[in-house]
Chain A
């Protein structure tokens, strides 16, 4: 587990890590700079929001003018969503003061008044909301239907030498997504996932993850996770427009869709809360 995307980038480049979940624009930028990686799947859809101080003066996007807004990275969809919102509200890049901040730090910074707002993935919007000092100004889907944030990237040498291992990884994520989105069991399974992910993986309060996964259930979605050309071409266009990508890059250069294709016939994990293992 890492605490920021720059560290993940370095671990991936140095082969300390062979795969990583990272924000989509960072993956595209790395590929555009010649780093041998490919996006093979999505981590989730939606699950990002802009949060302001609960009792503060910001009640509309226009109220953010001149204020400090934290984003996880200049290469993040959470930054791009702000540009989409600015365009929709007749504002320009000079109207916001964007600062980069490690995701785990933003809720504390908002509570302390060091920033006026943050644009971040869950569970940090939930953290600010549930603790009583933050208010969601808008969820990403309001300005960006089909919003995606974190993607799964894999080193090219691993894709070339061990495609079967990459397929196992992608199949597992696909099956987890299907398991979480099973309509009649959605809430119970998300609550169970919040409990074991919080305790054994994220080292976070399960109540916080339960909030992020269930208030409402559509806050974060885990299907469909296939990387689609139209979604990524929009990200590349926004990156070009906002100055974080200096040349166009073809979808095929940074996405390898065969693993998502291979996972299309997967079914959800056979596992219910209390089972000793999943099949």
Chain B
């Protein structure tokens, strides 16, 4: 039972870490926390000329 608990916890930790590294844009999150004058502008575009 203890082995199963450790395996589940390890799996959850791995999935969480993978999600945070692949699906969270840390640059954007950190940029949003900067004072306004230091913040980079977010510029939207679509892949056309």
Chain A interface (Cβ < 8 Å from any Cβ of B): 1-5, 8, 11-12, 16-22, 43-44, 47-48, 72, 103-104, 120-124, 149-150, 152, 154, 158, 161-162, 165-166, 169, 201-204, 212, 220
Contacts and interface: CB of A to CB of B under 8 A. Distances in A.
A21 B43 contact: yes
Contacts of B47: 1, 103-104, 123, 201-204
A50 to B, nearest CB: 15
Nearest to B43: A19
A19 B49 contact: no
Interface string B17-35: 0000000000000000000
B41 A1 contact: no
Interface residues of B, number: 11
B49 A43 contact: yes
A104 B43 CA distance: 19
Contacts of B42: 16-19
Contact of B44 (A12, A161, A165, A201): A12
Contacts of A124: 48
A5 B43 contact: no
B48 A2 contact: no
Given A161-B36, A162-B36, A162-B37, A123 B44 contact: no
Best-surrounded residue of A17, A120, A149, A152 (most CB of chain B within 10 A): A17
Contacts, number: 72
A103 B46 contact: yes
B49 A2 contact: no
A88 to B, nearest CB: 24
B49 A212 contact: yes
Contacts of B45: 1-2, 8, 20-21
Given A21-B44, A149-B49, A162-B36, 4 more contacts: A8-B46, A17-B42, A19-B44, A123-B48
Contacts of B41: 18-19, 154, 158, 162, 165-166, 169
Instruction: Give the 7 A-B CB pairs with smallest separation, nearest first.
Output: A20-B44, A47-B49, A121-B48, A17-B44, A202-B47, A122-B49, A21-B45
